[in-house]
Amino acid sequence: GRIREGARVVRRRRIPAQARGAEPMIHTVTLNPALDKTAQAPNFKLDAVTRITELRQDPGGKGINVSKVIRQLGGTSTAWAVLGVNTGRYIRETLAEQGIECRAFEVEGETRTNLKVIDPEGGTHTDINEPGPQVSDDMLDAMLARLVAELDAGDIVVLAGSVARGDTYFGWVEACRGAGAKVFLDADGEKLVAGIRACPFLIKPNEIELGSILGRTLDTDEKVADAARELVSRGLDNVVVSMGGAGALFVSADHVVKGGSVRVPVGSTVGAGDSVVAALAYAEQQGLPLEDKVRLSMATGAANVMQSGTQAAPRELVDSLVDKVSVTWL
């Protein structure tokens, strides 16, 4: 492998995890993390005083959410995050309490706080998200250099969430792939489009995001599958398309498989997609066969929808839902 750190070029030999007698490492990257506050506010109305009946707070941001779910599934990961001063310290300490290793890169200013307002009477979920602090290109370059220096062939890198510049993920995907890692990219809009150009191992758009990328409406399983195949033909290994209550399609050059959704009581939908990505990364790390990957990821998504806030569902709950997932080969 080869990385550039300032004017110094660092070279190291990449040894596949299997050759080291170890399973691949999972690294999650969150460039704009958050402290997620989830408030229960019955009969929530605009332009009125609202009384909160319950409030919980969790370390958040898509990559951090992935690490929390991997931990509950029984796996380990290293969470790389850009963190501010006081709120960042709370996130770092809370992750440590949960047994999650965190590589923190400190930035001036505060890590953002996101408020999730749940109205159990009206059945609504409202997200109010702050902007994150400014992160310099130099810090991002230093962070990427350190990450690449730790990667070995076969490791898994999950890039997830918002970034300051739309083209950031292109460079990160390219660098991590160059180190032999399998890159899972979970982003939207121009960030996803930029990352796709570097051919990550897996992306997980929903059918609306996928249709937007290709400039067409995807309103049937066949259209979704054809669109996913088109991206695979451009060099991606796996495209997983989430379709809400209709389930998800898992597409590669060799297969198109549909995983059915499991009906469960909804606690919070925040982080549901992150939990699916977490299960897919964990399943890849464990070398699970395709059908088991589909069942585990769909069950993990359903179990996390049942939780309050962005806390990760326990493995026992996930396991209780696995057999309820339908798997159809298309």
pLDDT digits (tens, 9 = 90+) for 53-97: 999 899 999 999 999 999 999 999 999 999 998 899 999 999 999
pLDDT for residue 289: 97
Residues 251-273 have a mean pLDDT of 90
List b or e across 104-133, with b for residues whose CB sees 16 or more CB atoms inside 10 angstroms.
bbebeebbbebbbbbbeeeeeeeeeeeebb
C-alpha–C-alpha distance, residues 267 and 254, integer Å: 36
Label the pairing between strands 2-5 and 8-11. Answer: antiparallel
Q: CB of 111 within 8 A of CB of 133?
A: yes
Using left for φ > 0, alpha for ψ between -120 and 50, and beta otherwise, residue 287 falls in left
Look at residue 132 and tell me whether its pLDDT is greater than 90. no
Question: What is the average pLDDT score of the chain?
Answer: 91
DSSP notation for 22-37: SPPPEEEEESS-EEEE
**Judging by beta carbons within 10 Å of its beta carbon (0-12, 13-18, 19+), is residue 233 exposed, middle or buried?**
exposed
Q: Which residues neighbour 110 within 8 Å (Cβ) at sequence distance 6 or greater?
A: 84, 85, 86, 87, 88, 133
Which residue in 274, 292, 319, 323 is the catalytic one?
Answer: 274
Q: Are 27 and 157 in contact (CB under 8 A)?
A: yes
Q: What pLDDT does residue 3 have?
A: 36
Looking only at the bridges linking them, the beta strands covering 248-251 and 238-242 are antiparallel
274 catalytically annotated: yes
Distance CA 236, CA 222 (A): 19
| 4: pLDDT strictly greater than 70 | no
pLDDT band with cut points at 50, 70 and 90 for residue 21: low
| Residue with more model confidence, 309 or 241 | 241
Average pLDDT (120-129) is 89
pLDDT of residue 123: 87
Strands 156-160 and 182-186: parallel
Which has more pLDDT, 194 or 272? 194
Residue 22, pLDDT > 80, answer no
Band of residue 11 on the pLDDT scale cut at 50, 70, 90? very low
Average pLDDT over residues 295-307: 95
DSSP β-bridge partners for residue 128: 115
